[in-house]
A and B are shown apart, each in its own frame.
Chain A
Amino acid sequence: MASLLGYGKSDDRISVTFDGDAQRPRRRLSPNATPAPVFAAVEPVTGVVEIRVPAGKRLEHQGIKIECVGQIELFHDRGTYYDFTCVLRELDVPGVLMGQQRYAFDLSHAEKPYESYNGLNVRLRYFVRVTVTRGYASSLIKEQEFIVQVSQPAPETNTPVKMEVGIEECLHIEFEYDKSKYHLADVVVGKVYFLLVRIKIKHMELAVIRREAAGAGPNQHNESETITKYEVMDGAPVRGECVPIRLFLRNFNLTPTYRGINNKFSVRYYLNLVLVDQEERRYFKQQEITLYRAAE
């Protein structure tokens, strides 16, 4: 019956099992999704498709195919999908299926240049789709999602971030982060020097901000999200004070920095140093950092 509604993506007569499924790590991109197997960018997507036809029945079909699809979905542009990759393989020629039938597949030609991502305005996902085409009845379709993670080598140059900022005659600080590029399980180590303090500071925090830009041109949607607020100082420092910073990134759900993914979206990360004074005024300085996925 589900197929009557036209878009049955999970026909339970079809199942897809990737090779090495048992050992493969599973992750989920959003809290309520089912965990999906994880592939590296260069890993071939291979496996077995199994189609079960209930005993005593026969399934007549016009052909069976499997596709590997990489798709970007912009939420504000509902219904529009951009497939940036799509590889199709024929599994069977038209005929009749009875009982249980297994097909091995190999989609190793499918390119997986981007990472799976589930953001506020945009989603990038990978899945394989098995389609059993039938003459008059609608096709049987099974989609199986998987997650792609692209690890990158450590950057060759990784300079510290050092910056002097201030408000004249009021506040003057110099801060320093040990690197400009961090891997996802990295630690941000830094220091804040107070060169001049004329305001009554109450505390200082370091926030990690994710900025997502989806779409292009006039349709671009920007969204900022504070991933974490991490208090690094309590109380008012005096001039000459130097306050250490140490932030473990692995505690947060971060992705690598994405820049111009398929010209559709970007995700950037910023460290925001915020000083709050006793009147709750906030003085802040944002500094972009690059996140990358180190090989595990």
Chain B
Amino acid sequence: MALRQSNGAPSVEQQPRYLAEASRRVQEQGFYAKKACGARDLPGALRHSSDMLRELRTSLLTPRNYYELYMKVCDELRHLDQFFQQLVADGTPAADIYERAQACGDVLPRLYLLITAGAVYVKTMQAPARDILHDLVEMAKGVQHPMRGLFLRHYLAQACKDALPDTGSKFEGDGGDVSHAVDFILRNFGETNRLWVRMQNQGPASQKKRREEERKQLKILVGTNLVRLSQLEGVDESRYASDVLPPLLEQVVNCRDAIAQPYLLDCIINVFPDEFHLATLDSFLTCCTQLRDKVCVRSILEAMMRRLANGARQEDSEVLGPPGAFDAFDACASRLVEEKKEALKVADLIQLRAALLEFAVECYPGELEYVQRCLAQTSAAIMNDVVGDDAMELETLLLAPVSSQQMTLASLLTLDDIAPLTRRLPIEQRKNVARRCLRRVLDGDDALDSPEAVVKLCAILEPLLCGDDSSMNDEALEKEQTSVASLAHLCRSESTDDVFRVLGTLRRALGKGGSRRTAYTLPALAYRGLELARVANGPEFSARKVFQFVHETATALAGVAPARALRVFLAAALEADAQCLGAISYEFVSQAFILYEDELPDSKAQVKALRSMVGTLLAAENCDAADYDALAAKATQYAAKLFRKPDQCRMVAACSHLFWPPQRVEAVEAPPPAPAAEDDDAATVEDAPPPPPAPKKEGRKRDPKRVLECLQRSLKTADACMTSAQPPISLFVEILDHYLAHLEAGNPLITPKYIAGLVALITEHVETMEAGEAREAVERHYANTRALIKARGVIELD
């Protein structure tokens, strides 16, 4: 017999030695027992088996090692089991074996032998199964040592798993019915669980941690019983509800153990089918409210919800959540909150609601009321701003509805509690919630069709729309605000009046964002306004009003991003021009010109802006002649005043086109309107709807002389550049292109003679260039131009 250590705790260092010694003795006695079985020597077999089983009386092993030893012993006991069966088959009454197995003086080996014999007794049908099972489960009480008892009872459950009078088994009838099988397992479970719980309280308090660890290693021994219960054929829904679950839950509640309670409930959730859970949800949830304070009820509820949700998903994709389940969970959560007010931390409380909320969102996509309820309850529970863990939980809670795929914009906006709850969070987390919400809204692509919706949405998005932005770097801010700006494109409706109202509301909300934000958000609003201007037909808001809005927006933008504002003005001018609103168009252009003069200090920006201005002027077909002349002259003036010579040269050449504007072809109808799918940046005239019947007025004038002047001035400037270190030959090629363009446009003053002269000049210059990338680029460009000249037959080339 193994030594017993009196002070309880097994020594860790000696474990391998203890285990090895015990295993060796098990093997030895197992061998003799097997030999005795072979010799059909029952007393010998029993004697050696008891000697082997005595090894299990040890207190020296840790649970893990004890388990190993136990498995070895179980292996050996299989031979004994076979031997018993053989003996009975050969005529020995099973009752005799059952009695003789009880002769052993030590209780632990005796009970192992008894169980082995009992299982054979039942299987040979010589006694009613229920009687034997009842006897076994009672007698096993002889082992009160928690760990040894746990293993003994596990052996009992294992040995008898095929000997239960389950419905449909051969033991049914005289052997009892499924209720006896249930009773047996429940009893064994109850005792097992009590032993397991008792482990917690034995030994010195200093080893509590270690004991808890050990207990967790042993939990499977307890759970096995529940698995057995779930495997019984005869346990149907009604039996489960009346005979199985109530005692289980009673046991769970009464054991008052913070490790056992969650584990057992988790087992119950996992081993029994969904229908059973649905039928008994109320009692299960009632039990959940009666657990120890330390138990994390949320994760239990969550597991149950997940289980039900998964089940529902597999069965029917339409209705995800089982009807009524949410109400039950909700009631349970409320009761929990009420009953455990003191014990429940804010984080727990939020977690609880979050779990519920997630369930509602996942499984009841149609039932917004559920989500609302969850949020309202959370709202009611949180009195102050939250930080740390609480904040994290609240964030998780809020993310569930705002980032759910199921959530449409309209449903999201019915959740009035989101915005106030969000305000409880620290700023970073608020932003995160807002960001996820924004992403969801944009991905969902549902129309923002009323000012109220905008107000509500903006309340949620508030952290992104205004407030301190000094901590963000430009890149992050741009990314964020670009998303925010995308909201402008969600402003859609049948009625253009509605769109205008929505846009106005959004404008007001975004306007509060400060200069860094509005630089990104206002352009989008303005361009969306232009889109609207094209189709505006409402009784209340005409295109003029919309243009006014665009003007106001662009003016606001001018203060923070003049270059962008300038482009907005130009685009607006084009749009207005396309609608033959000459005065408005002129106003926009002049605003752009003013911006150019006042706000653009950077020459690069100037060049860019000037190019756009020239393009816009050229495209503005309906422009009043006088206005056009003034503006063209002004633009050319700007070009000539540019600071860098090459810029000057290029832009003056470009301006030459202003004096040879394309003539409107009156006879031909414009192509059919195609207003949709349009890039805001490129205000292309071609796509504009047909202008309203053109007012009779004079078109823009052509002035060949000024064209030539521009080109020559450009040439002169280019020539002046030749003194610089890297002579820009490319400028000449570009000017050559302009000449060719005008030649083709039919300017009478531009003759092939100019072309020939330029060609000669360029050819000469190119040859003197240093080899390198610059030369290659020029040569390539020049070759293309020459090819064009050749193709058109403008002049003879060498």
User: A residues touching B (Cβ–Cβ < 8 Å)?
Assistant: 202-203, 228-238, 241-244, 246, 248, 251, 278-279
Contact = CB atoms under 8 A, between A and B. Distances in A.
A242 B103 contact: no
Contacts of A231: 105-107, 110
A235 B149 contact: yes
Contact of B145 (A235, A243, A279): A235
B144 A234 contact: yes
Contacts of A235: 143-146, 148-149
A248 B142 contact: no
B145 A242 contact: no
Given A231-B106, A231-B107, A234-B108, A244 B141 contact: yes
B319 interface: no
Contact of A233 (B4, B57, B103, B143): B143
Contacts of A236: 144-145, 202
A233 B99 contact: no
Contacts of B107: 203, 231-234
A279 B7 CA distance: 10
Given A234-B148, A236-B202, A238-B198, A243 B141 contact: yes
Contacts of A232: 107, 142
A84 to B, nearest CB: 37
11 contacts: A228-B105, A231-B106, A231-B107, A233-B142, A233-B143, A233-B144, A235-B144, A236-B144, A236-B145, A243-B141, A244-B139
A233 B99 CA distance: 18
Contacts of B143: 233-235
Nearest to B99: A248
B377 interface: no
B200 to A, nearest CB: 12
Interface residues of B, number: 23
B474 interface: no
Residue from A203, A229, A234, A237 with most neighbouring chain B CB atoms (10 Å): A234
B102 interface: yes
Nearest to A245: B142
A244 B142 contact: yes
Contact of B102 (A202, A233, A246, A279): A246
Of all A-B residue pairs in the complex, the 10 with the closest CB atoms, nearest first, are: A235-B145, A235-B144, A231-B107, A237-B144, A234-B143, A231-B106, A234-B107, A251-B103, A234-B145, A233-B142
A243 B144 contact: yes
A229 B105 contact: yes
Interface in B581-596: none
Nearest to A238: B198
Contacts of B99: 248
B138 interface: yes
Interface string B528-564: 0000000000000000000000000000000000000
A235 to B, nearest CB: 3
A236 B145 CA distance: 6
Contacts of A228: 105
Contacts of B144: 233-238, 241, 243
B317 interface: no
A244 B102 CA distance: 13
A230 B109 CA distance: 12
B6 interface: yes
Contacts of A251: 103
Given A234-B57, A234-B108, A278-B6, A243 B202 contact: no
Contacts of B139: 244, 246
Given A203-B107, A234-B144, A234-B149, 8 more contacts: A230-B105, A235-B148, A243-B141, A244-B138, A244-B141, A244-B142, A246-B102, A246-B139
Nearest to A236: B144
A248 B146 contact: no
A158 B676 CA distance: 105
A237 B149 CA distance: 11
Contacts of B108: 234
A242 B146 CA distance: 15
Contact of A248 (B4, B102, B138, B148): B102
A229 B202 CA distance: 27
Nearest to A247: B102
A229 B104 CA distance: 10
A244 B108 CA distance: 13
Interface string B141-157: 11111101100000000
Contacts of A279: 6
Contacts of A229: 105
Interface string B193-207: 000001000100000
Nearest to B201: A238
Nearest to A252: B103
Contacts of B138: 244
A111 B143 CA distance: 51
Contacts of B4: 202
Contacts of B141: 241-244
Nearest to B107: A231
